[in-house]
Chains A and B, each alone.
Chain A
Amino acid sequence: MLVLRDLSLTEGGVPHLAAVSVDAEPGRMTTLLGRTGAGKTTLLRAVAGLVQPQSGQISLAGADWSRLPPWRRPVAMVTQQFINYPHLSVLDNVAFPLIRRGEPREAAREAAAAILGRVGLAQMTGRRPAALSGGQQQRVAIARALVKRAPVLLLDEPFVNLDYKLREGLREELAELLRSQSDTVVLYATTDPREALQMGDCTVLMAEGRVLQAGPPRAVFGAPATLEAARVVNDPPINLLAAEITQSGLVLDHLGPQSAGATGRALPPGRYTLGLRAEDIRSGGPLPARVALTEVSGSETVTHLMAGGQPLVMLERAVTDHRLGSELGLMLDLGKALVFGADGALIPKGASHG
């Protein structure tokens, strides 16, 4: 198990890491989910030894890594900007880490050729990286990371610079390859909640250098612990509706009074924020809203709307064409809304508040 304890790193007053603790188990993929600047890359670099946290411990299977320089840490890393050795052929690039670690040249080349075959580059082994396309270069970098069979594999948005199709293909290849290396700890940093949901066995939500929440992806997605976590984990963004519960019932700040049992539970009077996912808004209801923007992505449609001063985002699992400026009637499924208290913490379903 890779254990990160209370890692902190502040540079120029900016907290890149603030008491970050993560436990990552071998044979499972731990995804670090957060926006750009959330500290994911810094955390991976700290694990690799490329930056030195000011405090905290890193250990693998009980062995302390904190004072080890990068070249003594058994890690492999793939970064967004695929980095290969420009002066070596594709084959020698992949064989390089093995040769450096003292394996015989021939054996290293064979292992490299085998793994290059698995990422579909068997025909390219003699070329220089510069002669390959971006996707191929990234696959060389992935092959070089995998060939080491390092106990810790760090993937820093490895597919972000690639086009959609390649990304899908490589993601499957990677999942396939990882299944054959079941003793590996994998940390996978991404900004895309869907990728995290789809790939991870454990999701760690990060923002501003802090860990917001960690757990199985479905649990994190289904019950984000705070407003901030709910924001990070949802794409398209979650709708946050300021609300007040009074004696007479539920009143949304911009959308007015709602039926008393709309949230499906009894809450004491006070200020709340309702988190309503984009897919929990449907068209064909009573709430009038004006279309501000429509994006079609694959077979889904994301529509940005304005309803009485409240911006809303709606996700439909179909390709629909809402004209800009047109009026829609919306139906908010408030029964599925997440409810956050005035302190921003989630109030779980069934929790009793005195």
Chain B
Amino acid sequence: MPTSWRWKTAERIRPEGQTRPSARPSMPETAMYRQKYIFLLPGLLVLVAVILFPLIFTIRVSFSSWDVYNPGLNNAGGAMYARLWDDSRYWEALWRLSLLSLSTVLIQYVLGFALALLVWRDIAARRFLRVLFLVPMMTTPVVMSVIWRMIFHESLGPLNPILEALGIGAQPWLSQATHAFAAVMIVEIWQWTPFMFLLLLAGLLSLPSEPFLAARVDGAGPVRTFMSVTFPMMGAISVGAILIRAIEASKIMETVYVLTSGGPGTATETVSYYIYIRGMRDFQIGYAAALSLTYLVIMAVALTLIAKALIRLMVREARA
């Protein structure tokens, strides 16, 4: 893979990657053309001031033992990093997060693709269904989580009566570890499958029609058309959609905070939520900074590896 793969990855993740880095300069570079900075600088300065500097400051903070008892920057060396190395709660949260995000994204992809195919063409009330399927992603995640918490309520919520009527029986949704984990997954799927649906449907709608005509002429049925025409052409778009969702899923915490507060015990605690507890609740700023940076690096590396694997797996398939 070329050295610019990081850029390539960004291209797949975010569509505006279509700007080619080596775009032909259309303006001559004389002193008169300083005007170009009028456009870029305000936004860039805000971003550098608000995000880059604080982030760099965080690196410094992570080498201090800043907490309630020792507020301020001192020099603790790598003590915080040594501490997190032995912090099994952190590594368990990381493992749990990987499991949670990868499985929900996979389910979202399958469901989102299926839904996009369903309302792609020839179905009654197509546009109404599209609107309906999009609505959840417009809603505020924490607010909907509050509603879901009611729904999952073991005695007063509406879900258990339905399950009883179906003969499945009432479930201890938020008090049992596996059930709570499933509840978080259900809410994530409800909330974000629409986003996957949106990207994949936009992709389907942008496909050229000739290959489908050819498939019809060859007498291919819906299954074969999907396997040999639709799916291969959706390779790059699928990778993009999965990556965007994987990035978002790696941040999961709001749902967990509202629905289960990480419980029961630490059964649904994600990394973000654990860092939140350490940093914002226990006010162990130095330790939380070290946790954050480690988390950021691990996530960046993991997402990059996933991106490379997906591109190799799905995009080359599309070219073949």
Contacts and interface: CB of A to CB of B under 8 A. Distances in A.
Interface in B21-55: 26-33
A69 B26 contact: no
Contacts of A49: 28
A69 B28 CA distance: 9
B30 A52 contact: yes
A50 interface: yes
Max chain B CB contacts within 10 Å: which of A49, A50, A51, A69? A69
Interface string A32-63: 00000000000000000111100000000000
A67 interface: yes
Contacts of B26: 50
A68 interface: yes
B32 A51 contact: no
A73 to B, nearest CB: 11
A141 to B, nearest CB: 19
A68 B30 CA distance: 9
A53 B87 CA distance: 63
Interface residues of A, number: 7
B25 to A, nearest CB: 9
A233 B33 CA distance: 39
B28 A50 contact: yes
Contacts of A68: 32
A67 B28 CA distance: 10
Interface string A183-196: 00000000000000
B31 A67 contact: yes
A146 to B, nearest CB: 25
B61 to A, nearest CB: 46
Contacts of B31: 67
A75 to B, nearest CB: 14
B33 to A, nearest CB: 7
A161 to B, nearest CB: 21
A52 B31 CA distance: 11
Nearest to B30: A52
Contacts of A67: 30-32
B279 to A, nearest CB: 50
A78 B7 CA distance: 37
Interface in B63-80: none
A68 B29 CA distance: 12
Contacts of A50: 26-28
Contacts of B28: 49-52
Nearest to B26: A50
B19 to A, nearest CB: 20
Q: For A49, A50, A52, which residue has the most chain B Cβ atoms within 10 angstroms?
A: A52
Contacts of A69: 30, 32-33
Interface string B111-142: 00000000000000000000000000000000
A69 B29 CA distance: 10
Contacts of A52: 28-30
B272 to A, nearest CB: 45
A130 B27 CA distance: 27
Contacts of B27: 50
A150 B29 CA distance: 25
Interface in A111-137: none
Nearest to A11: B24
A86 B31 CA distance: 31
A329 B27 CA distance: 57
A67 B33 CA distance: 10
A51 to B, nearest CB: 6
B297 to A, nearest CB: 38
A148 B163 CA distance: 77
B30 to A, nearest CB: 6
Nearest to B24: A11
B20 to A, nearest CB: 15
Contacts of B29: 52
A238 B42 CA distance: 59
Interface of B: 26-33
The 9 closest A-B pairs by CB, nearest first: A52-B28, A69-B32, A52-B30, A51-B28, A67-B30, A67-B32, A52-B29, A69-B33, A49-B28
Given A50-B27, A67-B30, 13 more contacts: A49-B28, A50-B26, A50-B28, A51-B28, A52-B28, A52-B29, A52-B30, A67-B31, A67-B32, A68-B32, A69-B30, A69-B32, A69-B33
5 contacts: A49-B28, A67-B30, A69-B30, A69-B32, A69-B33
